[in-house]
Structure 1
Amino acid sequence: MPTENRRANRSVMPGFGLTLGVTLLFTCLIILLPLSALFFQLGQLGFGDYWRIISSDRTLAAFRVTISAALMATVFNACFGLLLAWVIVRYKFPGKRLLDALIDLPFALPTAVAGIALVALYDRNGWMGMLLAEMNIKVAYTWWGIAIAMTFTSVPFGVRTVQPVMESLRTDLEEAAQTLGASDIQVFRHIIFPQLWPSFIMGASLAFARSLGEFGAVIFIAGNMPYKTEIASLLIMIRLDEYDFPAASAIAGTLLLLALVVLIAANIATGRAGRHLKRGG
């Protein structure tokens, strides 16, 4: 009997211990080791020195520019990503496969190339820049250029997190609601969107975290003016060029902490939303 119990408790997946060990090893080497080096550098700073670096006017201005532009990009990508996923999943039209493939282009395209392309497009001599200049609107080398660059690089998160869930939705609930007299808006609000809410939150949080650390696509179109269009990632690079490693570590650690807080909060929110959906179902 004891032998049978041990066999019953044994995992049905062969090689679980080996695969788990390899996974943890590469996780430590690729993720935890670089992060531990950053935290070790932060540990060399006292709280007073850390606060002096973070609370300086230039650092606060860089955080203000970065976070505000990231929030703008996140709001746009969350709404636009939901709309784009809806179109791809619910409709058939020529070029659908091409559009679906183009969504992942920001993942494959080097961010520096994206930045150069955005400058060529929104500069005063660019296609869009000339049109906007006639309306006295300037995008390149302004805060708006930063927000557009962050939007471009993080837009796949708003689509790819929602799209699989939308493809698995049950249409019979929508049809039943419509037969009971519910409008399209009521069906979307009370039936469809609650099921998309967990993935919607996660997509928005991933887009925000991605935008916080964006560098290559932004520096070409930002103008990089201190206190105006200088982002936190560029300030980290400047501090590294000055061999001011404590300051660079303090700024990078703050960005990392902010991203972790957002992602942890998103995971908690999606977990609660998922449990609520299961109870409702």
Structure 2
Amino acid sequence: MADKKDKTNSWINLLKKKEYVASFIILLVTIGITILLLKPYHAEFIATGGISSVEELGIDGSVYFTYVESGLTNNYYERITLEMLYDDMEFIPLDEQDLIAYEYYEEMGDQFKEDTIVNAVESASFDQLADPSSDDFLDRVWEITNSSAQYSGDSFGLMIAIGLVEELNQEDFSKDGTYVIAGTGTMEADHSVGSIGGIRQKLLTAENNGVDIFFIPKDKQYYYDISLSNEVEAEQVIAEEGLDVRVVAVETLEDAIIYLRNLP
């Protein structure tokens, strides 16, 4: 009986040792995975988003602007989580200099946003708001800025300006809803349309939301390396994805207005 009891105890002790070893291994694996997941990984991420009417900004217009999901990852856990949440996610790894530039842009984001709104209001040629120092002009800028608080970036400048032209002239470029018109691009002080980021995701967003006409910056001529151009990237995305949306490249606000006024 004693031998059987000793053998039983031996087996129990062995099983306990195996359980301890297994638990220790699991603990080590868990710690290892945690360390890997929390390893620094700085990358800008961009994913498709949606479209919003300029009416949400208090503008009496029919056009839309696009917005995308974007931000910065700090570790691999954040990257994996984002990949599970969004489709068409793109990650752009950032080195130390890129990270500094990104953080600077984030700090200056509100200023860039206000600049494009100021330029949009001025470019839309409001006679009563022609003086940028007048109370009417400043009030209009404040109203749009305040209404756009939930949106980051300055890429909606062009569409704000188009909406304001509609409001000023009591026009409806959508032809009573015949066309869904959207676009992207900053508005510069000289009425030119500035280049933006995330052109691929914005085009896919437009396609997914039934946009008929989508404006982009006409910027090919400004790049020595034309692969950096919004215009060139858009051409590639259209070819790769077989998009149905009609993409129109414009250099200035006036180009966009002329195009819209000549729609059938």
Same fold (TM over 0.5): no
TM-score, normalised via structure 2 length: 0.27
Larger relative contact order (CA 8 Å, sep ≥ 6): 1
Bigger helix share: 1
